[in-house]
Amino acid sequence: RPTRFPEPSLSDPLLYAQLEQLKETLRRHTSVRAICEMGRLARLPQRIVNKASSLRSFCMKCGRRVAAALLPALYCSMLLSPAYAFGESDGASSHSPEGAFAFPKPFEATYTADYRGLPISATGIRSLRREDKHDSQRYIFSSRAVSLFAKLNEASTFTLESNQLVPARYQYERTGLGKNKTQDTRFDWASGLANDVARDEAFTFNPSTLFSDRLLYQLRLQVDLINTPMDSIRSKTWTYLIFDRGRMKEYVFEMADEESIDTALGTIDTIRLERKNEDSSKRTTLWLAPSLEYMLIRFVQEDDGDSFSLALKEAVLDGQPVQLDEEAKS
């Protein structure tokens, strides 16, 4: 199961090994030169700045002076090393061909949506954006569908910490079809509490175990695919722990086939993934395009007679409209 790793302490063997390597470097070189982007350094969490104090004293004992302002960046780089970047997640970001973590560019994709097979045309929009342009590590992933008679909004606010997607808030609202439903859950990882302010309910969770909310797992799957070679994708299963109002559910996906999907943009080569479920009345199928950072091209969810589907109509990726060339279309 995906695990949210605790911050390493100076008792960690790997961290001490890195410090020993640093000490040897300091002994061999008369100066240490580092280039830091001060804007990012200024926004480092205070906990990292505080942790740097022990490293400062350690480096001073090595006989070389290291600027105190650089130590938070040094500690941050240790946190982001491959050993700490990934837990037991089935996602294989560490196997990226470039050897570095890749995260999807901001996007907004528009879909034709269908809920319960209604003949009324509906529009669905999925997007990924930064919550605040001044905070590069906090994002909002959203999905919404609107028709003349119904509206469905779902959003996940999360932070990107050590290459992991950590949920901070989950919102869900459905109106116009049957009984209206609303959910607004805030996740407090320090206390292990999930508060649903819409229903005035609170749930506990284990803060040492990383999970996704009911929407975020879809983006996490996209991230894992981006960071995994195609040969490995064909043979892998993808397991995600989902928090759903105090209960933990396990979603398992596997690649079923490679298919070409006809869309309003043209024919797009995709991989089809299916969620494995012992309950035959529930089925989730996703079609994702490798050429578009595994953007969702088609989505079908069936649950005991209810159905919801999306089909790509148009998309904007990193601020640019998606236009397929002839090679990508065929």
Same domain, 194 and 142: yes
Q: What is the reported pLDDT for 120? A: 61
Same domain, 193 and 231: yes
Q: What is the reported pLDDT for 277? A: 80
State the Cα–Cα distance between residues 255 and 274, nearest whole angstrom.
Answer: 6
Host domain of residue 313: 107-329
Per residue, the 3-state secondary structure of 173-217, as one string, reads EEECCCCCEEEEEEEECCCCEEEECCCCEEEECCCCCCCECCCHH
Same domain, 195 and 310: yes
Identify which of 28, 26, 11 has the alpha carbon closest to the alpha carbon of residue 71. 26
Same domain, 188 and 55: no
Same domain, 41 and 142: no
State the Cα–Cα distance between residues 104 and 119, nearest whole angstrom.
Answer: 33
Give the chain's domain count: 2
Q: Are 307 and 301 in contact (CB under 8 A)?
A: yes
Q: Are 259 and 287 in contact (CB under 8 A)?
A: yes
Q: What is the pLDDT along the chain (330 residues), one digit of tens a residue?
A: 444 444 444 444 554 454 455 445 444 443 333 323 323 333 334 444 344 444 444 444 444 333 333 333 333 332 333 222 233 333 333 334 456 899 999 999 999 987 776 656 789 999 999 998 777 789 999 999 888 888 999 999 999 999 999 999 999 999 987 789 999 999 999 999 999 999 999 999 999 999 999 999 999 999 999 999 999 999 999 999 999 989 999 999 999 999 999 999 999 999 999 998 877 678 889 999 999 999 999 999 888 778 888 899 999 999 999 988 654 444
Model pTM greater than 0.85? no
Residue 117 maps to which CATH number? 2.40.360
Same domain, 53 and 154: no
